[in-house]
Amino acid sequence: MDVLEYSLFPLIILCFTYWYFKNKSTKSSAPTNWPLVGMLPGFVHNAHRIHEFFTDILLETSSNFEFHGPVFGNMNMLFTSDPANIHYILSRNFSNYPKGPEFRKIFDILGNGIFNVDYELWETHRKTTMSLMNHAKFQVLLERNVWDTIVKGLVPILDAFVERGTMFDLQDIFQRFTFDAISKLLLDHDPKSLSVNLPHVPCEKAFNDMVDALLYRHVLPESYWKLQKWLRIGKEKNLIKAWEAFDQFIYPAISQKQEKLMNKNIKDEDQEYDLFGDYIKAYNQWTNEDNSNSGNVQVFLRDTFLNLMFAGRDTTSTTLTWFFWLLAKNPLVETKIREEIQQQLHLKEENLKFFNIEESRKLVYLHCAFCEALRLFPPVAIEHKAPVELDILPSGHRVSPNTKILISVYTMGRMESLWGKDCLEFKPSYKFPAFHAGPRTCLGKDMAFIQMKMVAATIIYNYHIQLVQAQAISPTATVVIRMTHGLKVKVVKKVPLQSK
């Protein structure tokens, strides 16, 4: 036994020395594929800069990279930013790439909401949501809701910071704004997180804890994060608390809304447009069509609204944050947007206070600037897919049901082959599909642009955002890429432009 140990020891040392110097001698961004542990050490080492890590690798390997995980870890993955692969997965062969059980395990906190489900229930969610958002009264409700949140929440806070002359986190303000706006729109409940005293609202902050944990679930062995969950430690502990905060906020709001509906005693034609009631009808239709779908309407509504709140709060606030940072770095773009606002909305020497949805569509250059911000900093930076059946991608890679596919949308926006050598520059255009593609194209795209234009135009025309110097700006290592340390700014009032 001793002889065997002594004979194997030099061999082990030799193997590890070979792999070490092989990795050290090349300047490749790709992690070393070690015995037993695979590429996991390199991944863990770069976990804090995961999106840049993926980008470095994919730009170096022609947009596709096979990641080998630990032995028995079921972590083999294909990283891709290849446009042909992405189009194939999201559109051409969409039916072979549903969300699937693996995705549902990772995103279990979202329950049976639209982001988590496939097939009949997904069709029910999508059909209902499209019908509601395309309704004429929804546009009226959306417009009224956004301006109410701007006038009663955003403007008083900005004015307070103007008066104090103090620094504040603009990202936090946008998160509060979008949380209040989507809560009022869906639940008819104003949490008032966007108040001058900036109160702590657990549900509003719980979204950050949720997205912080979900990316790690994508890339760590399931047994590892399940152990953390059982022990209630690490990011899983925060995820458990986030789940509790969501339930404590949403369920009472659902009960109050149900009570209001039951107490209504008016004719149908006199009722206001009501999303809540239509989702209850959708639930009843779903359960009636399939007797196996027994459940609780409150749980269905909780899952439905949490998914829509997640989309409405996180993606919009993230886009607004990166947009204003890019704008501050590109003052000529800001000037052009301000001039467009004055010309298209026929402003003279007054502050901007209100414009409707039709008028928002005239702000074409502002729209293009948002598209450019979405290209460089897509809110959902990684998309997770897995095939139902063995498949061969356009790139030639064979993928099995055990293969995770991570689509890096963040990398796709930084590819010279798509955008040219100036791909890292901020040049407003109208050509980047940041709202997904294929059958699962984002339903809230138009709603998001309307909301963002109203917020951005109000701020750009009436205020000037000044970046605090010497602050580190980097994307979080999360599914939805916020700014790691927020966006520290000061704000001053602008003098209205003189009419031309």
pLDDT at 429: 76
CB 483 within 8 A of CB 322: yes
* pLDDT in the model for residue 118: 82
Q: How many CB atoms lie within 10 A of CB 480?
A: 25
To the nearest 10 degrees (0 to 180), the angle between helices 316-329 and 331-344 is 110
Which residue has 């701020």 as its token pair?
A: 459
Rounded CA-CA distance 152/160 in Å is 13
> Coil, helix or strand for 62?
coil
465: closest CA among 451, 474, 475, 455?
455
Mean pLDDT of 480-492: 96
The Cβ of residue 280 has, within 10 Å, a number of other Cβ atoms equal to: 19
Helix or strand holding residue 176 (H, E): helix 170-187
Nearest-Å Rg of the Cα atoms of the chain is 25
Range with the lowest mean pLDDT among 129-133, 180-184, 344-348?
Answer: 129-133
Rounded to an integer, what distance in angstroms lies between the CA atom of residue 500 and that of residue 490? 29
Q: Which of 186, 85, 128 is nearest to 391 (CA)?
A: 85
Looking at residue 313, its amino acid is R
Give the pLDDT confidence score for residue 117 in this predicted structure.
84
pLDDT higher than 70, residue 452: yes
Residues 283/225, Cβ–Cβ less than 8 Å: no
For the cut 80, the answer to whether the pLDDT of residue 288 exceeds it is no
CATH architecture of 93-378+413-493: Orthogonal Bundle (1.10)
Going by C-alpha positions, the residue among 94, 100, 182, 109 that lies closest to residue 146 is: 182
Tell me what pLDDT residue 79 has. 95
pLDDT at position 461 over 50: yes
Give which of 259, 260, 308, 264 is closest to 282, Cα–Cα.
308
**Which CA distances in Å does 221 have to 77, 102, 209, 218, 357?**
12, 12, 20, 8, 46
The tally of CA atoms less than 13 A away on the side-chain side of residue 260 is 14
Average pLDDT score over residue span 274-286? 79
**Per-residue confidence band for 17, with pLDDT thresholds at 50, 70 and 90:** very low
Q: How many whole angstroms separate alpha carbon 313 and alpha carbon 332?
A: 29
CA distance 74 to 98: 19
Q: Which of 12-47 are b and which e, b meaning 16 or more Cβ less than 10 Å from the residue's Cβ?
A: eeeeeeeeeeeeeeeeebbbbbbeebbbbebbeebe
Mean pLDDT in residue range 137-142? 88
Six-digit token string for 132: 């509601």
Say what the pLDDT of residue 8 is. Answer: 45
Are 72 and 368 in contact by the 8 Å Cβ rule? The answer is no
The predicted structure's pLDDT at residue 69: 85
At 1 the pLDDT is 43
CA dihedral over 56, 61, 64, 70, signed as positive or negative: negative
Distance separating alpha carbons of residues 89 and 29, to the nearest angstrom: 26
For the stretch 411-425, pLDDT in tens is: 999 999 999 999 999
Rounded Cα–Cα distance for residues 59 and 29 (Å) = 10
Query: What b/e sequence results for 431-445 when a residue is b if at least 16 CB atoms lie within 10 Å of its CB, and e otherwise?
Result: ebbbbbbbebebbbe
Residues 496, 34: Cα–Cα separation, whole Å: 62
Instruction: Specify whether the CB–CB gap between 149 and 184 falls below 8 A.
Output: yes
Q: What angle do CA 80, 81, 87 make, to 5 degrees?
A: 100
Distance from C-alpha of 276 to C-alpha of 255, rounded to nearest angstrom: 11
pLDDT higher than threshold 60 for residue 26: no
Percent of residues in the chain assigned helix, strand, coil, to nearest 5: 60, 10, 30
Confidence (pLDDT) at 9: 44
Strand-pair partners of 491: 465
Of 60, 86, 131, 161, residue with least CA distance to 432: 86
Query: What is the reported pTM?
Result: 0.88
User: The tokens of 143 are what?
Assistant: 């417009």
Residues 404 and 402: their CA atoms lie apart, in Å, by 7
Say if residues 422 and 95 touch (Cβ distance below 8 Å).
no
Q: pLDDT band at 19, cuts 50/70/90?
A: low
pLDDT in tens, 323-347: 999 999 999 999 999 999 999 999 8
**Separation CA 109–CA 307 (nearest Å):** 10
Buried b or exposed e, range 215-230, using 16+ CB within 10 angstroms: bbbbbbbeebbeebbe
Q: Which amino acid, residue 198?
A: L
